[in-house]
Amino acid sequence: MLSRLVDLSLRYKVLVLVGFAVVVFLGVRAWLTMPVDAFPDVTPNQVNVYTESPGLAAEDVEKLLTAPIETSMAGLPGVEQIRSVSLFGLSYVGVYFKDDLDIYFVRRLVGEKLQEARERIPTGYGEPTLGPNSSGLGQVFWYTIESADEKLSAMDLRTLHDWSVRLMLRTAPGVDDVTTWGGQEKQYQVLINPQKLIKYSLSYKAVMEALAANNRQVGGQYVNLGQEQYLVRGLGLVANTTDIGNIVVAEREGIPIHVHEVAEVKEGPAVRFGAVTRDGQEVALGIALARIHENAKQVVDAVKQKLQLAQEALPNGVTLNPVYDRTDIVKKALKTAESALIEGSILVAIVLFLFLGEVRSALVVILALPLAMLMAFLLMQQFGLSANLMSLAGLAIGIGMMVDGAVVMVENSFRLLSHQVGTAVNRTHVILEAAREVINPIAFAILIIIVVFLPLFSLTGLEGKLFKPMALTITFAMAGSLILTLTLIPVLSALILKPKVEKDTVLVRWVKTAYLPLLERALENKKKVFAAALVLLAAALAVFPFLGKEFMPTLQEGTIMFRVTGIPSTSLEESVRISQTMNVVLKQQFPQTKSVLATIGRAEKGETNDANYMEVLVDVKPPEQWQEKITIPELSDRMKETLERALPTVVLANTQPIQMRVEELISGVRATLALKLYGADLAVLDRLAAQIKPVLGSVSGVADLSLEANKGKPQLVVKVNREAAARFGINADDILEVVQAGIGGKAVSTLIDGVRRFDIQVRLDGAYRDSRQAISDIPLRTQAGALVPLSRVATVEMDEGYTFVRREQLQRYAVLQMDVKGRDVDGFVREAEAKIRGQVKLPEGYWIEWGGAFENQQRAMARLVLIVPLTIGLIFLLLYTAFNSLTHATLIIANVPFAVIGGVFGLALTGQYVSVPSAIGFIAVFGVAMLNGIVLVSFLNDQRRQGLSIREAVRQGATLRLRPVLMTASVAILGLVPMLLSQGVGAEVQRPLATVVVGGLITSTALTLLLLPLMYEWVASRAERKRDST
């Protein structure tokens, strides 16, 4: 069938050329229009549920809100994980589903279950709502709104953003929501004076009920006046503070008592839970959230267009200033990948010319490279893949493999044409004969390379999302190269190649001069050569366990971020002061610093942090402007050391924006490695975590070790004394209403101003709630009309509670966060587990699990250990099918273990660990090693069929196949050299892969050229002797 396809292509050359011209056009268009991104979309199928309950402590939030919601979600189909955080005033529940479920389907499932959850939540404690259809990686664009006009307050800027800028940006394609962080949210505040309530014999409830009842707008249907119909509207909405103040609460002897007579009515800022500082000054921050599975660059481009329109609509002097732009890293990552592709392609072209030495042959082979890539781009577009660091890395890996088929085809065609020099020759016929000789081994070799990468399709979780695009692009490129080898390459060979005396190039002559004596010695000293190969293999296998293991090298984003955690009692104002100190220290001691942005606490809707936590993004100048030449990680470490000296009361950890968000998606915490301690009692969890922390601190390689300071949130507890309250005829509800609305504040209505909405908030005047004594003295009216202080019917005590409560798998857990530096994660975890088992006894019902990168590494390696042997078994079946010989199939498969040698030593010499990228490198090496083995064994069999003796067939076959074997290996090696030497964004992920492939191909090629002929002669001689004896 394959020969028939080549025959048809050679018959209809024009059709083939026209067909590929169309493919080129479509491929170029696909490349130009393909969505681009820094990395594949690693977002899990995640639905978030938020429930706000202002003023409620973390323990109460867990009991009243989080637990009922978790229980409702646990029975949903396809749920893999449920995580939650309960903290002051907010419940967050994250429901993670299997990746094969549609996100809108699972959001609908969660939405339906929320009704059940609402029935389990006590009335008045909050309304659970679905979070934005986004993920932690959805924060693609940050900007601040600032003004040079001092007349505009922080509240004015926040209002401009919320009701002008935000609404415009939400219409950008791909944007699910825009979050506001910092600034001051505008409210209309009614600050009640308890003394004036006493004067007029009024209660808190009376004021709240009057405000709610006197802010309405109704419709009265219509009336017919004459021949016309008039709609009836009842307008009673308040429009300003005057209208609110003039609402009548009650009347005494015909005299109305207005709100402004018992309370101060004013515009003021809402209670805030977070703040943002930029270069030491408080600002309002806007964050555009990309909808889940949307392309980040396309979303950011759309946001920037809307941002320009929003800027034009703002008052003079008000500016929108970009702070963080995901497309910056997209451009850097793509530049790294594209540079590796282009430079690798150029090196491949040079190598092909040096080996072939004949311009026409080299041209035909080189054309296969861009054409295979264009076909891959076309298929990537059809399958919805973006051009990113990992997908383009697949093409970089495949640069050498893409031309392998073309190399073998053109080299054999040129060799047969050289036999026809000086005679009238039908080039089409010669090319067809050349193709028939090699088409089967080429097709099987390319098919085997595709099969070699099948293990990558079995990966799940984060590693699957990262590396499946790479496997797909390699598969697309190899499928394209096979189609080219069967169709266009024979056509171009027939049109371009001419009969010419075959002469070895200078490079090939030099290589042959060195190779042939080595081959002769190897054939004469089989046992020594085989023993040496086994010693090298044994040495590599002995070194392998000492390499260490990790999930993936840390990708350097070119950005510095710090996670800063203060003691639980830290106020928002103190955190703002700390951020200002950090700004001063960084600006004074590090001239590389351009700007410092700190996001403190949480936005009013979103994030799950308290006021003692902040994330500080440090924007640095371009490295070429630095006086001292150091790397960004080194600068980050120096900054951290300096800040730790300047701020001894906080815990700092350095990270990067995307790295931090990915770590949070993996383990629920923002750290590279997390030890999770599960159990029921928070006090026991705290005690055990405190015991485990010094044990972890004694393990070498630990860095940034921190135990989340959970206990220690100061609380002022107002506890109802039911007996005392009953004696005065006061209900517990009356007391709790004062606590909730009087001390905490309560929104009782909404002031509507066009499209803008502002809460009307009722609260006691500050003088009556700013101290423990003031709260104790709040007067309450009994049913008999008497007045009693709050302290007579309730105790007012100081206590200490929890900042937050984390839950996973419907269990509470405590977290110890850490990073590992100077050693592999796998070895660190094994040592840490052994020490914990020996020094800490866990009570019944308590257990530990490791999260983060280690969890991914274990899952990925376990999957590969299972799938790789099955894949090798499938390849063996393909080899058996190709050769119809168990002996020859075993001979080629036996070459695979020796391909490991160079890869292992390459990792050891460069100090890199075994990771998922390096495992993929070993898989790629296996593919090329088998391809060379198939081509060589096929040709040796052909030589035997022509009547040559075994030794002569081996000698001549190895000599004739030397050039194509070296060419395929050299183009694969040199195609990856730019990836190996690259220093750009993303190079860290690609380097282990390139190291293994380059090192592995050097040793596997040498062994293919020396060990395989030797083994072939030994096996064939043995088979011949057995046949002769029978």
Q: Please determine, for residue 951, whether its predicted confidence score (pLDDT) is greater than 90.
A: no
Alpha-carbon distance 551 to 853, whole Å?
A: 6
**Across 334-348, average pLDDT:** 76
**Across 819-824, average pLDDT:** 80
- The total of other beta-carbon atoms located within 10 Å of residue 219's CB is 9
Q: Which two tokens stand for residue 732?
A: 């517990």
What is the pLDDT, as a whole number, of residue 643?
93
Cβ–Cβ < 8 Å for 557, 657: yes
Q: Is 409 helix (H, G, I), strand (E, B) or coil?
A: helix
pLDDT band (50, 70, 90) for residue 668: low
Q: Please determine, for residue 605, whether its predicted confidence score (pLDDT) is greater than 70.
A: no
Top CATH class of 44-134 equals: alpha beta
pTM over 0.85: no
pLDDT band (50, 70, 90) for residue 903: confident
Alpha-carbon distance 86 to 608, whole Å?
A: 8
**Across 767-779, average pLDDT:** 88
Candidates 614, 565, 564; CA nearest to 275 is 614
* pLDDT tens-digit series, residues 508-535: 788 888 888 888 888 888 888 888 888 8
Alpha-carbon distance 501 to 865, whole Å?
A: 50
Whole-number mean pLDDT of the chain? Answer: 85
Q: Please determine, for residue 670, whether its predicted confidence score (pLDDT) is greater than 70.
A: no
What is the pLDDT, as a whole number, of residue 604?
65
What is the pLDDT, as a whole number, of residue 115?
87
Q: Is 585 helix (H, G, I), strand (E, B) or coil?
A: helix
Candidates 468, 418, 414, 422; CA nearest to 438 is 414
Q: Please determine, for residue 248, whether its predicted confidence score (pLDDT) is greater than 90.
A: yes
- The total of other beta-carbon atoms located within 10 Å of residue 301's CB is 15
Q: Please determine, for residue 364, whether its predicted confidence score (pLDDT) is greater than 80.
A: yes
The number of CA neighbours under 13 Å toward the Cβ of 862 is 8
CATH topology of domain 560-710+805-850: Alpha-Beta Plaits (3.30.70)
Alpha-carbon distance 356 to 352, whole Å?
A: 6
**Across 746-772, average pLDDT:** 90
Alpha-carbon distance 207 to 225, whole Å?
A: 40
What is the pLDDT, as a whole number, of residue 579?
93
pLDDT band (50, 70, 90) for residue 1030: low
CATH topology of domain 1-33+357-501: Multidrug efflux transporter AcrB transmembrane fold (1.20.1640)
**Could you tell me what percent of the chain has a pLDDT over 70?**
97
Q: What are phi and psi of 218, to 5 degrees?
A: -130, 165
Alpha-carbon distance 588 to 666, whole Å?
A: 37
Q: Please determine, for residue 332, whether its predicted confidence score (pLDDT) is greater than 80.
A: no
- The total of other beta-carbon atoms located within 10 Å of residue 153's CB is 15
Residue 386, H or E segment:
none
* pLDDT tens-digit series, residues 5-48: 888 888 888 898 898 899 999 989 988 888 887 777 777 888 98
Which CATH number is 504-546+885-1030's, of 3.65.10.10, 1.20.1640.10, 3.30.1330.10, 3.40.190.10? Answer: 1.20.1640.10
**Could you tell me what percent of the chain has a pLDDT over 90?**
22
What is the pLDDT, as a whole number, of residue 745?
87
**Across 775-802, average pLDDT:** 86
Any idea where the domains of the chain sit in the sequence? 1-33+357-501, 44-134, 186-269+714-802, 504-546+885-1030, 560-710+805-850
Q: Please determine, for residue 830, whether its predicted confidence score (pLDDT) is greater than 70.
A: yes
Residue 809 zone, left/alpha/beta (φ > 0; ψ -120 to 50; rest): left
pLDDT band (50, 70, 90) for residue 606: low
Pair type for strands 281-290 and 139-147: antiparallel
Alpha-carbon distance 748 to 209, whole Å?
A: 8
pLDDT band (50, 70, 90) for residue 424: low
* pLDDT tens-digit series, residues 288-302: 998 887 888 889 999
Query: In CATH terms, are 1-33+357-501 and 504-546+885-1030 the same topology?
Result: yes
What is the pLDDT, as a whole number, of residue 311?
92
Residue 156, H or E segment:
helix 154-160
Q: Please determine, for residue 265, whether its predicted confidence score (pLDDT) is greater than 90.
A: yes
* pLDDT tens-digit series, residues 158-170: 999 999 999 999 9
What is the pLDDT, as a whole number, of residue 502?
64
Q: Please determine, for residue 573, whether its predicted confidence score (pLDDT) is greater than 80.
A: yes
Cβ–Cβ < 8 Å for 874, 451: yes
Q: Between vectors from CA 17 to CA 15 and to CA 18, what angle results, nearest 5°?
A: 65
Pair type for strands 756-764 and 186-192: parallel
What is the pLDDT, as a whole number, of residue 941?
81
CA dihedral 996, 998, 1001, 1002 (to 10 degrees): -120
Q: Please determine, for residue 313, whether its predicted confidence score (pLDDT) is greater than 80.
A: yes
Higher pLDDT, 112 or 393: 112
Cβ–Cβ < 8 Å for 925, 1001: yes
Q: Please determine, for residue 550, whether its predicted confidence score (pLDDT) is greater than 90.
A: no
Alpha-carbon distance 190 to 748, whole Å?
A: 10
Helices (H) and strands (E) in the chain, counts: 37, 30
* pLDDT tens-digit series, residues 436-483: 887 887 887 788 778 877 777 877 777 788 888 888 888 898 888 888
What is the pLDDT, as a whole number, of residue 168?
93
* pLDDT tens-digit series, residues 219-244: 999 999 989 999 999 999 999 999 99
What is the pLDDT, as a whole number, of residue 22?
93
* pLDDT tens-digit series, residues 120-159: 888 888 889 998 888 767 888 999 998 877 788 889 999 9
Q: What are phi and psi of 546, to 5 degrees?
A: -90, 0
Residue 36, H or E segment:
none
- The total of other beta-carbon atoms located within 10 Å of residue 797's CB is 11
Residue 729 zone, left/alpha/beta (φ > 0; ψ -120 to 50; rest): left
Q: Please determine, for residue 667, whether its predicted confidence score (pLDDT) is greater than 70.
A: no
Spell out the long-range contacts of 21-28 with Cβ–Cβ below 8 A and sequence spacing 24 or more.
23/371, 23/374, 23/375, 23/378, 24/371, 24/374, 26/374, 26/378, 27/371, 27/373, 27/374, 27/375, 27/377, 27/378, 28/374
Cβ–Cβ < 8 Å for 590, 639: yes
> Which architecture characterizes domain 186-269+714-802 according to CATH?
2-Layer Sandwich (3.30)
pLDDT band (50, 70, 90) for residue 490: confident
* pLDDT tens-digit series, residues 320-330: 999 988 888 77
**Across 191-201, average pLDDT:** 89
For CA atoms 611, 53, 283, 638, the dihedral sign is: positive
Q: Which two tokens stand for residue 481?
A: 């190269």
pLDDT band (50, 70, 90) for residue 952: confident
Alpha-carbon distance 259 to 256, whole Å?
A: 10
CA 492, distance to chain mean position in Å, is 44
Q: Give Cβ neighbours of residue 353 (< 8 Å, ≥ 6 apart).
A: 359, 362
* pLDDT tens-digit series, residues 622-659: 888 888 888 888 899 899 999 999 999 888 888 888 77
Higher pLDDT, 219 or 871: 219
